[in-house]
Structure 1
Amino acid sequence: MLGASAVLALACLSKGALAAFGLTTTSNRYKVDTNGGLVFEVDRANGDITSLVFNGAEYQGKGKASGINSGLGTSQLSAETISDQYIKITAKANSLPVTQYYIAKPDDPTIYMATYITGEVDPGELRWLARLRQENLPTGVHGDVGNTIGCTAFEGKDTFRCPNQETRCKMYTSDRFIDDQIHGVSGSNAAVWMIMPGVAYETSSGGPFMRDINSQTGSSDQELYWYMNSGHVRTEAWRFGLMGPYAMRFTDKADMPSSNLDTSFFSTLDIQGYVPDNQRGSVSGTASGVPKDFEAVVHWYNDKAQYWTKATNGAFKSPLMKPGTYTMKLYKGEYEVAKDTVNVTAGSDTAKNIASAEPNPSVVWRIGNFDGQPLELKNGDKIERMHPSDARMGSWGGTYTVGQSSARDFPMALFSKTGGNAKVNFNLAATQVRDLTLRVGTTLSFKGGRPSVAIGSWTGEDPGAPKLIDSRGVTRGAYRGYGEVYTWTVPASALKTGQNTLTLGVYGSGDNDFLSANYIVDAVELQGPAEGN
C-alpha cells in the first residue's frame, strides 16, 4: 500500500511537475524545465524546438518541429544558466543570417525569444512558427477562419473552399500590428499564446496597419505564428537587427493573459542588438485635427526602426525609441493626414505636436469615409475573414443612389472581370452644373487595377497603373497597400440639371474573376457646391 508521500509524488507527476528549474544537456538535446509546468527541448544541431510538454501532455506537433521559418538548418548552439534565474539558449545558423534566442525563467511556463538578423531570409519572410498538436489545441485565432480541415484548395495553396461554400485561409487570422500584442490557440486543457509586448515590432516592416498570418488549423498540426517580416502585401523594405523580444506562453485554459510582458531582464543576458530602456528616448505631444469619430494614430519610422501609438483625447506619448531621426505621420484611422520629422535623443522625452493637414472641401456628395479602410462599404465587414467568392458575401457591383442609399450599398472592391461596375445616381441643381472635381480614394491595388470613371458622354482619363505590389490582396483578406487617391475634373458639359450617373469600373486585366485587376475603395466624392449654394 502506498504511503502518503508516494501518493503525493504520483499526484505531482500526473500534473506534469518534473525536476526543479534547470537545464539538462544530452548528446542531441537541450532540455529545459521551467518548474512552471512547461518542459521544452531544443535540438542541438539546428535550434528547432522538438518537444513542448505542458502539465504532462505533449503539445509539439508530430511532424515538423517548431522554429524560425522552416528551420535554421545546421547551427551553432550554446546553453547556459545565468545566476540561477535564467536559462539562455543561443542558436546561430551556419547558412542563414539569423541568430535565435530562447530564454526561460523559474516558475514561468513561457519561452521568451528574440531573433537577430543581418540580411534577408528566403523566401522573403521571417516568422516564428510553432507546430502544435491539433487534437490538443483545436481552436485557432478567430475561430475557424483558418481551419482548412475537410476543405479543398482553390486559389494557390493557401485558400480553401469548404463543402458549405465557406472559405478558409490562414491569412484570415491576421490582425493589424497596432492591435496585435497577443493572440493564441486553445483546447479544453490548455492554450498557447504569442505575446509581442512593447517594442517587439520595432525592427519589423510594414507600419502599424500591417497584418499577417497568426494561425492555421490542419488535420494534424495547429500552427501558431508571429510574422516579423513578410512579402504579403509588402510596402517597404525589410529592417535588420533584433526582432523582439517576444514570447510563447502556455496557460491552463483559454483565458487570455496580459500582453504587458516584462522583458527588461534581456538587458542582463548579452542579447545581440538589444537596446535597454536607459538608452532610448520618447516623443510626446498633441495630435490635433482628427475628427472625434476616428482613431488618431501617430507613427514614427526610419530605415532602422518603427513605432506607433494611438492618441487619447489628442494626447500621445510614443513607446521608448532608439535614438535617431524619424519620419512622423498622423493618420485619421489609416488615412495619412500629416507628415513631419522628429529627432529622438536617449534619456529625453521630445515634445512634438502634429496637426492634420487634410483639406475640407465642399462636396456635392461623398460615399464612405476617407479613413484608409473600406470597412463601412458593402462586404467591408467580411473581407478580412473570407474570400470575395464566399457564400456569405453580398453581391459585388451595384447601384448607389445619393440621398437614398447607405455606404453599405456601395462595393468595397471592384474587379475587372467579375462583379460588374458600380453606378452612382445623383441629382444636380442648376447652380451645381459647373466644372466639378471627382475624387476616388483606394487602399490597395492588384495587377495594376485603378478606377475607370464616366459621367454622361464624358470618360475620365486613365490615370495609369499604380505602383505594383506583387501579392494577392483582397482574396487573402488584405485591404491596405500604398493608398492611391485619384482626381479628375468633370467638365460642366458632361453634367445636367436633374439626374446624372457616375459609372466606376476597372482599368486593367489579369486572370479571371477575383484574381483579375482590382482595387479596394476607401471613399468616393464629388467636390463642388452643396445644393442651394
Structure 2
Amino acid sequence: MQHAQNRPVRRRTVLGAAVAAAATTALATTAPPAAAAGFGWSDDGAHFVIDTGAGLVLKVSKANGDLTSLVYKGREYQGYGGKNSHVESGLGASTVTLAQTGPTILVTVVHGTLRHYYAARSGRANVYLFTDKADTSVTATRFIARLKPGIFPNEGPDSWVEGADTVIEAGDVWRRADGQTRSKHYSGVRVMDYDHVGYTTGTVGLWMVRSHHEKASGGPFYRSLLRHSNELGVGLYEILHYNQSQTEPMRFGLQGPYLLAFTDGGTPDPALFPAAHDTSWVDPLGIPGWVGAAGRGRVAGVGLRNMDPAHPYTVGFANADAQYWTRAAAGTGAYSCRNMLPGTYTLTVYKGELAVHTTTVTVTAGTATALHTLTITGDPSTAPAVWRLGDWDGTPAGFKNAQLMTYAHPADVRAAPWTGNVVVGSAGASAAVPCYLWKDVNDGLLIHFRLTAAQAAAAHTLRIGVTTAFLNGRPQVTVNDTWVSAIPSPPAQPSTRSLTNGSYRGNNHTFTYSVPASAWRADPSQYNVLRLNVVSGSTGTGFLSAGTALDCVDLLV
C-alpha cells in the first residue's frame, strides 16, 4: 500500500495535477500534502485498491472499470447476483489508469468515446464519480451501485419481494399480497426535489448524492428510478439520460461529481449537495471537459410580476448543451442561478410545472447577468371561465388519484375507482375527475353542468390541458349527444410507458374546442352533458391502452 504522509488533514485543498495518460499506473510526483492515516492505493494485479483513510476501501477492476468492492469499517456492501457497480450495465473491456494528486486519487476508465472517473479524497468516506459521454455509442447514461441484500431495510414504494409478490406489468411492476403495488420506478419525487437517495440501518447509511444534472435531460420536473430493493439486492442510481417519459434529446459532455457517501446512519453532509458542493478540489486533476467556478457565470433576476400566490414558481434555463433551474422566491419571484456554463439559454418561468413565460438570456463566464422584473403573460388561468375543473399548473394535482400515481400503479388497491361522473358546482367536483383517462378503462367520462340562458345563447371555447399521453391518446368531445368535435391531432409526447410507471410528466399541451351555441340546452334548469372519449390510432388493453393525463378542463366565458 502506498501512503501519503501520516498526519491529519488541515485544509480542503488539492495540489498538483496529474491524469494518467498511459495504460500504466501513475503517481503524482509533487510532495503530497497532509493526509489521513491509511490513505493510499495499491495494485493487486486485477484491481486498483484505494483506502480513503476514513474506513472506506474500494476496488476498481483494471479490466473493465467496474466498482467491485466497497468495504466500509470492515463490512462489504458491494454486489448482488454476481454483478458489480458500474456505468450502464457494465462497459466491458476498458483502459483503466490511476493517478494521485496530493490528497486525491483519480481512476480513469476509457471505453470507446466514453470516459468515467472514480475519485477518492483523503479522510472522506465517499466515492466521487464523473461520467463523460461524447455520443450515442452508449445508449443511456446512468451509474448503478449494486449493494448486498439483507443489510438495509427492504421497505418503501420501490421495494418488493420477488419470492412472494406478483409481476403485473413489463417485468418491473409488482403487486403485493395486500394489493399494494411496488416498482423501481416509484420514486415519488422530481429531480428538483431531492439531493440524495439511499438507505440507513440507523448506524450506517449509504447514499447516492446526485450531481447538478447540467448535462442530464428532462428538466427540473423529470421523474426517474432512483433506487430499488428486494431480498436479492439493492440498487442506487444516478440517472442522467433515460428514455422513459423523456421529453428532451440527450446531452453530451462531462457530468459530475455525483457520489456514493457512507455515514454513521444519518443523511449526507449538506455541503456535498449540488447547490453547495465546493468542487475546487477537482480543478487541479486535469479532467478533460471540467469547467471550474472561474469559467462559469450566474443569472440573477429581480422578480416576477403576475404570480399566483397559490403556486410555487420555478425558473429554468436550457440549451442543447446544459440545463439548470432555480426556485423563485414567494411573493417577489426573485431568483438566482449560479455555476452556469457560458452560453445563450432559453429562460422559462413555470407556474407549478406549466410554462407561462419564456425569453432568452446569455451567460458570460465570471460575471452575473442581471435581469429586470419579468411580467408573466402566458397563464391560462387568467382567462374568465364559466367553470373550471382543476387548475392550470402543468400537473394533475387536485384530480382523483393524482398524488398516489407518483408512487403506485393505477391498479393499486389504494386507488379510488377510476370511473364515475362529475357534476360541476357540487362539493369536490375537481376531486371527482380521474387524473388519467384510458380508452380501455374509463373512457367516456361525463361532466354535467348548467348554463344560464345568456350563456346557452352563445358559443364557448372548451379547453382541456394534458401533461402527457400514452399511445397518442387524446380527448374527443361530445356535447349533449348532438355535437361531436373533430379528432384533434396528437401532440408530441414520449413514446414510452408513463401513466403506469410513476410519471405524468410529458409535454404540456392544451386542446381547444369551439362549441357552437346550437350544442347547448337552452333550459337553465337542465344539465348539459360533456363526454370525453380517448381516441388513438394505436391499440392496447387495460392500463396500457391509449390514455392521457389531465391538467385542467374549463369552459371559457
Using the size of structure 1 for normalisation, the TM-score is 0.92
C-alpha separation in 2, matches of 1:494 and 1:369: 25
- Equivalent position to 1:494, from 519, 535, 557: 519
C-alpha separation in 2, matches of 1:366 and 1:419: 21
Query: Secondary structure in 2 aligned to 1:514?
Result: helix
The equivalences for 1:213-252 within 5 A come to 213-252=225-264
- Equivalent position to 1:506, from 506, 514, 534: 534
CA displacement at 1:209 relative to structure 2: 0.8
- Equivalent position to 1:448, from 457, 460, 472: 472
Preserved CA contact (<8 Å) 1:452 1:506: yes
The equivalent residue for 1:309 is 326
Q: Which 5+ residue runs of structure 1 have no aligned equivalent?
A: 1-17, 529-533
Q: Could you list the per-position Cα deviations for residues 364-395 of structure 1 after superposition, in whole angstroms to 9, with x for gaps in the alignment?
A: 11011110111211000100011001111111
The equivalent residue for 1:132 is 147
CA displacement at 1:288 relative to structure 2: 2.4
Preserved CA contact (<8 Å) 1:128 1:226: yes
CA displacement at 1:203 relative to structure 2: 0.6
Preserved CA contact (<8 Å) 1:145 1:386: no
The equivalent residue for 1:156 is 170
C-alpha separation in 1, matches of 2:256 and 2:193: 16
The equivalent residue for 2:420 is 398
CA displacement at 1:180 relative to structure 2: 2.3
C-alpha separation in 2, matches of 1:492 and 1:144: 49
CA displacement at 1:181 relative to structure 2: 1.7
The equivalent residue for 1:7 is none
Preserved CA contact (<8 Å) 1:187 1:254: no
C-alpha separation in 2, matches of 1:256 and 1:427: 56
Relative distance call for 1:289 and 1:146 in structure 2 (3 A) is farther
The equivalences for 1:165-244 within 5 A come to 165-173=179-187, 175-197=189-211, 200-244=212-256
Relative distance call for 1:155 and 1:29 in structure 2 (3 A) is same
The equivalent residue for 1:37 is 55
Q: Could you list the per-position Cα deviations for residues 108-152 of structure 1 after superposition, in whole angstroms to 9, with x for gaps in the alignment?
A: 100011101101244x32111000012112346xx2433343212
Q: Could you list the per-position Cα deviations for residues 406-438 of structure 1 after superposition, in whole angstroms to 9, with x for gaps in the alignment?
A: 222110000001124322111111111110110
Preserved CA contact (<8 Å) 1:440 1:486: yes
C-alpha separation in 1, matches of 2:267 and 2:242: 29
The equivalences for 1:454-469 within 5 A come to 454-456=478-480, 457-469=482-494
Preserved CA contact (<8 Å) 2:357 2:376: yes
C-alpha separation in 2, matches of 1:121 and 1:170: 25
Runs of 4+ deviating beyond 6 Å:
none
Preserved CA contact (<8 Å) 1:278 1:347: yes
Preserved CA contact (<8 Å) 2:459 2:515: yes
C-alpha separation in 2, matches of 1:144 and 1:435: 47
The equivalent residue for 2:10 is none
Using the size of structure 2 for normalisation, the TM-score is 0.88
C-alpha separation in 2, matches of 1:182 and 1:284: 26
Preserved CA contact (<8 Å) 1:148 1:168: no
Is the counterpart of residue 292 in structure 1 residue 306 in structure 2? Answer: no
C-alpha separation in 2, matches of 1:409 and 1:212: 28
Preserved CA contact (<8 Å) 2:313 2:350: yes
C-alpha separation in 1, matches of 2:463 and 2:159: 36
The residue type paired with residue 60 of structure 2 is: V
Q: Could you list the per-position Cα deviations for residues 44-70 of structure 1 after superposition, in whole angstroms to 9, with x for gaps in the alignment?
A: 111101111111111012420001011
Preserved CA contact (<8 Å) 1:374 1:520: yes
- Equivalent position to 2:104, from 86, 102, 126: 86
Identity of aligned residues (%): 35
C-alpha separation in 2, matches of 1:144 and 1:441: 29
RMSD, aligned α-carbons: 1.6
Of 397-406 and 484-493, the range deviating more from structure 2: 397-406
The equivalent residue for 2:20 is none
Preserved CA contact (<8 Å) 2:160 2:176: no
C-alpha separation in 2, matches of 1:494 and 1:72: 61
C-alpha separation in 1, matches of 2:493 and 2:350: 23
The residue type paired with residue 247 of structure 2 is: T
The equivalent residue for 1:333 is 352
CA displacement at 1:19 relative to structure 2: 6.4
The equivalent residue for 1:270 is 286
Of 255-264 and 345-354, the range deviating more from structure 2: 255-264
Preserved CA contact (<8 Å) 1:171 1:477: yes
Preserved CA contact (<8 Å) 1:19 1:33: no
Is the counterpart of residue 253 in structure 1 residue 265 in structure 2? Answer: yes
C-alpha separation in 1, matches of 2:288 and 2:547: 43
The equivalent residue for 1:355 is 375
- Equivalent position to 2:459, from 435, 445, 449: 435
C-alpha separation in 1, matches of 2:475 and 2:310: 28
Preserved CA contact (<8 Å) 1:330 1:354: no
Preserved CA contact (<8 Å) 2:57 2:70: yes
The equivalent residue for 1:22 is 40
Q: Could you list the per-position Cα deviations for residues 208-227 of structure 1 after superposition, in whole angstroms to 9, with x for gaps in the alignment?
A: 11111101112221011110
CA displacement at 1:522 relative to structure 2: 0.3
The equivalent residue for 1:531 is none
Preserved CA contact (<8 Å) 1:362 1:527: yes
C-alpha separation in 1, matches of 2:99 and 2:493: 47
The residue type paired with residue 427 of structure 1 is: R
Q: Which 5+ residue runs of structure 2 have no aligned equivalent?
A: 1-35
Preserved CA contact (<8 Å) 2:152 2:200: yes
Preserved CA contact (<8 Å) 2:347 2:358: yes
Preserved CA contact (<8 Å) 1:423 1:504: yes
Query: Secondary structure in 2 aligned to 1:396?
Result: coil
The equivalent residue for 1:483 is 508
Relative distance call for 1:174 and 1:230 in structure 2 (3 A) is farther
C-alpha separation in 2, matches of 1:181 and 1:317: 18
Query: Secondary structure in 2 aligned to 1:202?
Result: coil
Query: Secondary structure in 1 aligned to 2:495?
Result: coil
CA displacement at 1:295 relative to structure 2: 1.0
Relative distance call for 1:174 and 1:274 in structure 2 (3 A) is farther
Q: How many pairs align?
A: 503
Is the counterpart of residue 516 in structure 1 residue 545 in structure 2? Answer: yes
